[in-house]
Structure formats: C-alpha cells, structure tokens
Amino acid sequence: MAIETEGNETILFVDDEDFIRLVAKDILESKGYRLLEAAHGKEALELYELRGKEIDLVILDISMPGMGGRETYEKLKQHDGDVKVILSTGYPNDSECMDLLTRGVKAFIEKPYRVEDLALVIRKVLDDKAT
C-alpha cells in the first residue's frame, strides 16, 4: 500500500538559500502543508519560541552561515525534547549528518529535492514511521 504524501500540518523550513526556500514552499504548499520559513538558525529559534506549539516538523539545513544546523538542532531540542527534525543536506555521508541522526534527528533528505522523495520523508516522520 502506498503511503499518502499529503497533509495539513505546519512545517518550519530552515535554509539560508532563498531559492531553496521558494522551491520548498511551492512543493509543500502544493501537498497541503502550511509553511513557516527561516533563513538562518537564529530566526528559526525565534519562530519556534513564538509558534512552537503549532509547528509539527522542522526541516533544517545543516550548512548555514552563523548558527549552523547542529547548533540550531541542539537549541531546538533544549526548547522541546520532542521536536521532529528532518536534516536537509547536499552531503548525506557527512560525519556531522550521521552524528545528528544518532542524536535524535528523525531523517535526512538530500538536496536537490525530488518532490515525491521530500513528501514521502515528511509523511513518514510526521506519522512516526521514519527508520
């Protein structure tokens, strides 16, 4: 049976590249999700502090200037131990990515995104079926 790849949850998408945020917004909104965007870790933390109760999932770029993905994840985790995070990266075999997966990140998605791959990973994490 195929996994449904649409939803109505709220996703915080964190990436320092405007184009990637724009593409993700189009993809996710076409699948029914509500999207909040942050261009860097500090902005993500501020949004999560303000609206964390309505955020169901965070998609977090690992490589960002300033506060990178690792530090942002650690601070999100301190704020909410149950935060669901998907790591977004162009370097899936990076040791930092592998380490974060052992520290509670639910999954990772490799850039560039394929629409159905992104939608499937999101649905699996939201439904607690990620491996």
Res. 5 pLDDT band, cuts 50 70 90: confident
- 131 pLDDT exceeds 60? no
- Domain 23-113 matching CATH 3.90.1150.10: the answer reads no
Q: Where are the beta strands (DSSP E) in 51-123?
A: 57-61, 85-89, 107-110
pLDDT band at 84 (very low <50, low <70, confident <90, very high): very high
Of 101, 33, 29, the C-alpha closest to 62 is 101
Mean of the pLDDT values across residues 91-99? Answer: 66
Which pair of tokens denotes residue 78? 């301190």
pTM to 2 decimals?
0.91
Angle at the Cα of 123 from the Cα atoms of 118 and 124, rounded to 5 degrees: 100
